[in-house]
Structure 1
Amino acid sequence: MDCLLVLNFAWPRYRLNEEKAEWIIYVTDVGQQQHFNMFFKAARKAGWLPDNDKTYPRVNHVGFGLVLGEDGKRFRTRATDVVRLVDLLDEAKTRSKLALIERGKDKEWTPEELDQTAEAVGYGAVKYADLKNNRLTNYTFSFDQMLNDKGNTAVYLLYAHARICSIIRKSGKDIDELKKTGKLALDHADERALGLHLLRFAETVEEACTNLLPSVLCEYLYNLSEHFTRFYSNCQVNGSPEETSRLLLCEATAIVMRKCFHLLGITPVYKI
């Protein structure tokens, strides 16, 4: 299915007839909702769109709330100018790099690795902070909150993914070979809980797409990380009799996390 994300007010006739788009999504603030309702109604009366808004080709308006500053007003610079996204991303990357240096990572990595990791974490933090909230509600922008390595943040999730990769590396096992010969045995309650949550990935993606709510996928990803933390806290992996099964469970978790990151536009990191 071709899905076209539209960020302007261009009439969909060209996109429907020439580009053959099956689903056009207009993304603006919620204040434009009435305009788009009239917009789509006119297109249906003109015969350009089917009467049923669930039938393809289809169009949708995705409204979003305001980004607020800590003063509760629309997020702006001190000069009352609208803050540019590029400036937010640059600032997030800078702060992420400083945090990594404070943790001593500059002694372990090359300058290029440090820069790439800071960019992945900083950019991911800004994206995730925006997407994790219900898109219809306003939210307060805070670098300190979004770059926190605890709680429901991209930093926490990226660290969790890097930790899983570290567990697999430290095992010294060839995970691709284990996939061919190993078997999963989810005997512990926390293993089963993690496994069942992994199985919900497909239905979660479908729900997020159907309702145009990326926050649904964010919530799933955060809960997945929480399930993994409980599993790892209560189930020894490396050196245990269940090592093969638990390494495969770690790998399955990392794969699903990377799929979530990809859908959210976040670059995973493999070591922190």
Structure 2
Amino acid sequence: MNVTITNEFLTATINPLGAELISLKDSSNEYIWEGNPEFWGKHSPILFPIVGTLKDNTYTYEGNDYNMTRHGFARDNHFVVKERDSRSVVFSFSSNEETLKQYPFTFELELKYTLKEKTLHLDYTVNNLGDKIQPFALGAHPAFALPGNFEDYSLTFEKEEELISSQLENDLVSEKTFKIESDKNKLALSHKLFENDALIFKTLISKKITLNKLDTPFLNVNFHDFPHLGIWTKTNAPFLCIEPWQGYSDPSTSTGKLEDKEGIVLLTPGKEYNAGFSIEILR
């Protein structure tokens, strides 16, 4: 059963399957992509315990090989509601017999949604419940609805950026990069930008991106806790994903060892890792 939280400005609805945000709306607008499977059947999946794709969908840990598909398994599992009130809810998912076959670590993953005025805060906590260092990556994948002409929309980066994207080859991050032309800190959107899949920024100065329609700002994504960012859509689709990441796909030169993976977090036994981002409505 979906969970809804609300305040005087916004209403958010979350599906316990993957603790996935499926709706964020005010009195007149829906901001989250509807999930039409003709283009892409998801809304805002959690990426854990990997972000992106492993080389050969396989990694090695302590001499053993494990298989894991793109973006990990958290998005495909049911979360339980741990705490809830009218304006916030905490979802929890823990390791189990099935996850241990893919990922030999004991953990709890929490995602807290909180509405504060016109902002939805998403706060992640990873708890290492085992007795060994836990390597993981963590990411968000919210898709924002862009009705009408896609080219009416643009992005404004918080800082003036030289936009250098890593190039994907067979879903892996290659050593090749390319520069994306922009007007100082503003990037006009077009589907041509995504002909070769996602834009992947390993380093940005900005920690906030604004979505604009016809040069009018309507939404901010603030991602201070995440060092990497993906931006993606499907061909001719009326949505845009702005994806805060800790980690990204394997490079083609990957050794396959999970603890050596680029962007990986190494969490000490008994410790927790916290990160969050927020979606701020400007209308």
**Shorter-chain TM band:** under 0.3
Q: What TM-score do you get using the length of structure 1 for normalisation?
A: 0.21
Larger Rg: 1
Pick 1 or 2: higher relative contact order, CA cutoff 8 A, min separation 6. 2
TM-score when scaled to structure 2?
Answer: 0.21
More strand by share: 2
More helix, by proportion: 1
